[in-house]
Amino acid sequence: MNLTFYGGAREVGGSSITVETGNGKIALDYGIKVEEGLRHDLPRDLDAVVVTHAHLDHSGNLLTLADTGIATIGSIATRDITSDLLLDLIKVHRLKGLPIPYTSRDVEKVYHAWIPQERVGLPGMEVNLCPAGHVMGARMVHLKAEGKNLLYTGDFCLHNTEILDGADICALPKEPDILIMESTYGGTCRPNRDELVNELLKNIIYAQERGGNILIPTFAFHRMQEMVRRIDLALEKGLLPRYNAYYLSGLAEKITAYFNDHTEFLGKMVQDDPAPFNYARVRYLRRAEQIRQPALVVCTAGFGHAGFSRKLLFDWISDEENSIIISCGYIPKESPLSWARDKEVIEENGEKFPVKASVKQIELSGHADQSELVEFVKRVQPRKTFLVHGDAQQAEALGELLGTLTEVAIPSKGEQFTV
């Protein structure tokens, strides 16, 4: 069995790994780095692609396979949401004036080539999918081939969130020959979830008391639904004072319908609610001009690099009564949110904006942190572990801790292994 790491190796983004045996060849994920766009260097001589979840860094390059008819394996939720994210990817390219030779017809081809099953037989291989936490529909991949067991985590978490149960280690295969595991937070331990949520609410209240605007950039898929429901319930229960509260994202509004329709993919805490994502206190707006200030606004894009979040960031960053709350952990270094967090002045179209607003990062991430990653390896007990989806510093910090538990490799991009 040969493994080749085409992306997500010593980096975050562009995840894609091929597994080749004497009988066939598949790809585990087929993603892009959003800031770099589509790739044309990924292999196409595949029997199938297994997509762990819908985020574009794991699914975005499927457009390049639209004309091949190659089957894609993943959960039905991942299929539906990936289709919407691919359509949005095409839209964003066109709005930016970037060339993209794909249309909605190509997205339809990807959709119809999808096998939304949890267990699939391929030539000389058996693929089983297991819930991974992280986002709705996310799955780990258990691959059996040539007498060996391989477990690929994709992105995962063990902790429960307000709307999603974490991965259940007891339901996973034990002692796999090969584990391919994310290491996004391999060198980082976070406070527990309740502490982070309380910190978020305290920062919102602090901004409300100053009478300022509060901007919370997030991602259209899962993080938006989680954040808006969290704020909506806090307003309804009186945990937050009454305030103008909105969310802006046409894509998120569309994806939210899947969350109401497919609660079976979500945690027990929302399954008993007939419409858990019909919000009572947070209003959906189509345009930023509809905002009545002062306001709390949750909007896309998640890194402040596009859409409403970019516009409002530059509109509000220079007023000291305003607040920017960053809820993700990983932020690309050249993104506007990174600039806002780390610099005293940022620029937009040649104009300088002093950073006077409060900028706070509270990492409400759906990824496993270092303690969860170590716990995962202790309980799964793999023979050999490959660390991916983390920058070199995070992966190496984790690798040092795992060295007594498993053989560890940290592959480089393009590196191949025979296992």
- Contact yes or no for 213/293 (Cβ under 8 A): yes
Longest CA–CA separation in the chain, Å: 65
Asked whether the bond before 295 is cis by omega within 30 degrees of 0, the reply is: no
The burial of 350, by beta-carbon neighbours within 10 Å (0-12 exposed, 13-18 middle, 19 or more buried), is given as: exposed
Q: Of all residues in the chain, what percent carry a pLDDT higher than 90?
A: 87
Question: Is 236 a residue whose pLDDT tops 80?
Answer: yes
Containing 215, the helix (H) or strand (E) segment is strand 214-217
Amino acid letter at 62? L
In CATH, what class is 2-188+366-418? alpha beta
- Partners of 347 in the β-ladder: 352
Question: Is 337 a residue whose pLDDT tops 90?
Answer: no
Token representation of residue 333? 């270094």
Mean pLDDT, the chain, whole residue set: 95
Task: Report pLDDT digits (tens) over 67-123.
Answer: 999 999 999 999 999 999 999 999 988 988 888 999 999 999 999 999 999 999 999
* H helix intervals, 123-249: 193-209, 223-236
How much is the CA Rg of the chain, to the nearest whole Å? 21
pLDDT at 387: 98
Fold of 193-361: Rossmann fold (3.40.50)
pTM of the model: 0.94
Q: Return the ∠ at Cα 115 (arms to 300 and 264), rounded to 5°.
A: 60
The domains spanning 2-188+366-418 and 193-361 adopt the same CATH topology = no
The sign of the dihedral angle between the CA atoms of 81, 158, 73, 412 is positive
- Contact yes or no for 71/49 (Cβ under 8 A): yes
- Partners of 323 in the β-ladder: 214, 358
Question: Is 378 a residue whose pLDDT tops 90?
Answer: yes
Task: Report pLDDT digits (tens) over 8-60.
Answer: 999 999 999 999 999 999 999 999 998 788 999 999 999 999 999 999 999 99
pLDDT at 62: 98
Question: Is 210 a residue whose pLDDT tops 80?
Answer: yes
pLDDT at 165: 95
pLDDT at 307: 84
Domain boundaries, the chain: 2-188+366-418, 193-361
Q: Going by C-beta distance under 8 Å and a sequence separation of 6 or more, which residues neighbour residue 344? A: 354, 355
Token representation of residue 186? 């391999």
pLDDT tier, 301 (very low <50, low <70, confident <90, very high otherwise): confident
Token representation of residue 337? 């949110």
The burial of 252, by beta-carbon neighbours within 10 Å (0-12 exposed, 13-18 middle, 19 or more buried), is given as: buried
- Contact yes or no for 54/88 (Cβ under 8 A): no
> What single DSSP character describes residue 63?
G
CA distance 333 to 32: 17
Question: In the predicted model, what is the mean pLDDT of residues 308-327?
Answer: 94
Token representation of residue 78? 């991942």
Containing 373, the helix (H) or strand (E) segment is helix 370-380
Question: Is 275 a residue whose pLDDT tops 90?
Answer: no
Task: Report pLDDT digits (tens) over 150-190.
Answer: 999 999 999 999 999 999 999 999 999 999 999 999 999 99
